[in-house]
Amino acid sequence: MRLIIKDLCHRYDDLVVLDGIDLTVQEGEVLAVIGPSGCGKSTLLGIAGGIVAPSSGTIAVAGAVPDGCLNPITFIFQDFALLPWRSVEDNLSLVLEHHPLSAAERRERIESGLRRMGLWDFRKALPKQLSGGMRQRVGIARALAVRPAMLLLDEPLSALDAQTRELLMEDFLSLWQRERTTALYVTHNLDEALRLADRVVVLSRRPGRLREIVTIEEPRDQRLEPSAQAHLAEVRDRLWHLIRAEAQLADREIADA
């Protein structure tokens, strides 16, 4: 499934947040969005997912929805959003309870999601008994339970330590290798974007405008190879050059506010 954004603008009262965004997320693509603080990255994601109505412009989807898909567009947030009084498997069950599935189908989806994320042995645990990385794996497994056509990810690794973030990036890579799920991935971390994305969208400081789209040529499964490091370093320098000055100005604006 593709996501097509045309001439998108958004404002909160007199504050213009996004201006003139034209963007297409291709089927099976991981498209990362980076930019200075306050440039509208999360707002763009909210509009793409239908939880924020744009001030103007259009959002459309095209292409077939996969068999068994219960929710074509699904979010994964940075704060896990788990119900603390429900076990791991019951948190997954939550997103299936209002769909006309048999008990066997529900059990199959829950078990599949738990096993894919290495959580089967923790299915009876409460969220408070898990590490931050494990809680985020529960959030990912819950998203997979509805078999989405597209994932919208809002800085899903930003609350995690470096080691856990690395492990979760490996989980995402395995997921996309298996599922080929289309993804729009908002992050402030250039290394995450370089590791995970097919293309990287760079937004300007507020109002967020499309500055550049950078394609990462190396296949994702080869980006840790020594032969890829020199070129990836060049791409990282290019991305940082695009956002550095505006990131400093955005930080000053936030501090002044």
Q: Quote the tokens at residue 256.
A: 């002044």
Longest dimension (CA), the chain: 56
How much is the average pLDDT of 14-36?
94
Cα 177 off chain centre by: 16
Residue with tokens 């955005």: 250
pLDDT at 20 over 60: yes
- Whole-number Å distance between alpha carbons of 83 and 68: 25
Residues 160-181, mean pLDDT to the nearest whole number: 85
- At 256, the pLDDT band (50, 70, 90 cuts) reads very low
Please state, in angstroms and rounded to a whole number, the distance separating the CA atoms of residues 15 and 206. 9
Q: Is 200 a domain residue?
A: yes
In a domain, residue 79? The reply is: no
The whole-angstrom separation of Cα 72 and Cα 125 is 28
Three-point CA angle 7, 45, 232, nearest 5° = 95
* In contact, 146 and 65? CB cutoff 8 Å: no
Does a structural domain hold residue 168?
no
Q: Pick 179 or 9 by higher pLDDT.
A: 9
H/E stretch holding 254 reads helix 226-256
Is residue 50 a part of any domain in this protein?
yes
CA angle, 195 then 166 then 74, to 5°: 70
Asked whether residue 96 is assigned to any structural domain, the reply reads no
pLDDT tens digits for range 64-116? 888 888 889 999 888 778 999 999 999 999 999 989 999 999 999 999 989 98
Instruction: For the chain, give the number of residues.
Output: 257
**What is the domain count for the chain?**
1
pLDDT tens-digit map of 201-254: 999 988 999 999 999 999 988 898 998 999 999 999 999 988 887 766 655 655
Domain of 222, in residue numbers: 1-63+187-257
Residue 142 lies in a domain: no
What's the confidence (pLDDT) of residue 69?
Answer: 87
Averaged pLDDT for residues 164-191: 88
pLDDT on residue 79: 79
Query: Where are the strands (E) in 149-222, listed by range?
Result: 150-154, 182-186, 199-203, 210-215
The answer to whether the beta carbons of residues 27 and 182 sit under 8 Å apart is yes
* The predicted structure's pLDDT at residue 242: 87
Q: What is the CATH classification number for the domain harbouring 203?
A: 3.40.50.300
Domain-embedded: residue 253? yes
Domain assignment present for residue 204? The answer is: yes
